[in-house]
Every structure is written in structure tokens, then in C-alpha cells.
Amino acid sequence: MTVETKSTIEFGDIQTIEFECKNCHFVRSWPIDAFQAPPHECACDSGLWMALGGDTYSKIKHAVSFIHALKAMTKEPFSIRLGIKNGSLAHVSGEKD
Ligand SMILES: [Zn+2]
């Protein structure tokens, strides 16, 4: 017998958005409902992450707006889940399960 397991998340499961600097690994995190705008730089010497109002900045802001819109869809007769790669869940120390 073959058993296949899969991991999925619903948009309602999304609680935070975080950005990790690939240079120094500092993480900045916001509750998704309170997110205003992405950080455009890190305090280390990684350089400018994105131009304020630029393409990357806009894409991130639109993606968060999209998440908000899908989270608000609770009356539909269906649910939407995204499949994620097994083993790709990141646990943050102190996070409740
Ligand atoms: Zn950094």
C-alpha cells in the first residue's frame, strides 16, 4: 500500500508575513492584517531591497491585498487551499500549534 501525504493551507491560516534578509538572516514579521508596506532595506549592508513604489514593492502590496480578499471569502460554498511541499513548514520558536 502506498500512502501519500500532502500539506495544504487555507488563506485563513495565514497569520503573518515575514521578510528575512539573505545576508544577515534578520527577520521582520508583521501580522498579515496589520501589514502596511514591505521593508525596502535591512540595517546590515545588504543594500536596497526594492525601490519604494517600484515593481517589487507593488507586487508585494498587491499580493497581500489579494490574501486579504481571499481570507474574506467565507460565505462561498467552497474553500480554497494551497498545497505546499512536504517538509517546507517553518516553525518559529514559541509559536503555538
Ligand atoms: Zn540584513
pLDDT digits (tens, 9 = 90+) for 40-71: 999 999 999 999 999 999 999 999 999 999 99
Please give the distance, rounded to the nearest whole angstrom, from the Cα atom of residue 28 to the centre of ligand 1.
Answer: 10
Question: Is residue 68 within a helix (H) or strand (E), and if so which, with residue range?
Answer: helix 55-71
pTM of the model: 0.78
The rounded Å distance from CA 51 to ligand 1 centre is 16
CA–CA gap between residue 27 and residue 58 (Å, rounded)? 21
pLDDT tens figures, 8-44: 999 999 999 999 999 999 999 999 999 999 999 999 9
Q: Could you give phi then psi for residue 10, rounded to 5 degrees?
A: -100, 155
Domain ranges (residues) in the chain? 7-33+48-84
Cα of 27 vs centre of ligand 1, distance in Å, is 8
Q: What is the whole-number distance in angstroms between the Cα of residue 82 and the centre of ligand 1?
A: 30
The CA-based angle 89-85-46, given to 5 degrees, is: 60
